[in-house]
Chain A
Amino acid sequence: RKEVEQDPGPFNVPEGATVAFNCTYSNSASQSFFWYRQDCRKEPKLLMSVYSSGNEDGRFTAQLNRASQYISLLIRDSKLSDSATYLCVVLGTLSSGGGADGLTFGKGTHLIIQP
């Protein structure tokens, strides 16, 4: 079973539309969750952390459902510059005592915003 699963897309969406991505994770002990975006041949950039209560940052809203082990990202009023690959990311649980741990990435969802 894959640790973090995402629909790879591509999602072709007209400019100004709302788009939603979903992701599921397999490790019920996971505690921290993130969305990163990655442009072609660039490094992943942190978009936002995901909290249980849900959180919003401008046009972006992230939600976490621990019971279903499900994470979502909503982008409103999409812009051409939102075209990228969106990576669902879960903090690992290898480290004992809550120390630093690596990230486990989903394969990413490719978003193309069309003018």
Chain B
Amino acid sequence: DTEVTQTPKHLVMGMTNKKSLKCEQHMGHRAMYWYKQKAKKPPELMFVYSYEKLSINESVPSRFSPECPNSSLLNLHLHALQPEDSALYLCASSQMPGLAGGHEQYFGPGTRLTVT
């Protein structure tokens, strides 16, 4: 079962709001990722977590704050966002490299975020 779940499916927030996006996987994967996808563009990497530790931050503004409470959960905390941050936010997970097929990433359905 290659299922990654994300909540909420849709989110509308004002520029002064604080909200969180949630991602969960129960495949025993030890790497989790956040990507951002704007309309008609490919996904772009934001953060990588390896064994619950942040290993890559692609120079993402501090108004996006990731958190990995345990190996199954990944959160993205949002604060003081701008309208241009409106996008589809995708979570993905993978086994760790070194295992057979460890690099394949499986995506959740995404949270469609609108900032007003």
Instruction: List residues of chain A with CB under 8 Å of any chain B CB.
Output: 32, 34, 42-46, 49, 87, 91-92, 94-95, 98-108
A100 to B71, CA, bound (A): 14
B1 to chain A, nearest CB (A): 14
B6 to chain A, nearest CB (A): 9
Q: What number of residue pairs across chains A and B have CB atoms under 8 A from each other?
A: 68
Which residues between 66 and 116 of chain B lie within 8 Å of chain A, taking CB atoms?
A: 90, 92, 94, 96-98, 101, 103-110
A43 near B90 with CB under 8 A, answer yes
A32 near B48 with CB under 8 A, answer no
B39 to chain A, nearest CB (A): 10
By secondary structure, the A interface counts as loop
Q: Given the interface contacts A95-B48, A99-B50, does A43 sit within 8 Å of B33 by beta carbon?
A: no
B56 within 8 A of A: yes
B109 near A102 with CB under 8 A, answer no
- Please tell me which one of the listed residues B30, B41, B43 contacts residue A44 in the complex, with CB atoms under 8 A apart: B43
B97 near A102 with CB under 8 A, answer no
A44 to B2, CA, bound (A): 13
A99 — which chain B residues lie within 8 A by C-beta? 31, 50, 55, 96-97
- Please tell me which one of the listed residues A42, A45, A102, A105 contacts residue B58 in the complex, with CB atoms under 8 A apart: A102
B27 to chain A, nearest CB (A): 13
A46 to B27, CA, bound (A): 16
- Please tell me which one of the listed residues A44, A91, A102, A106 contacts residue B56 in the complex, with CB atoms under 8 A apart: A102
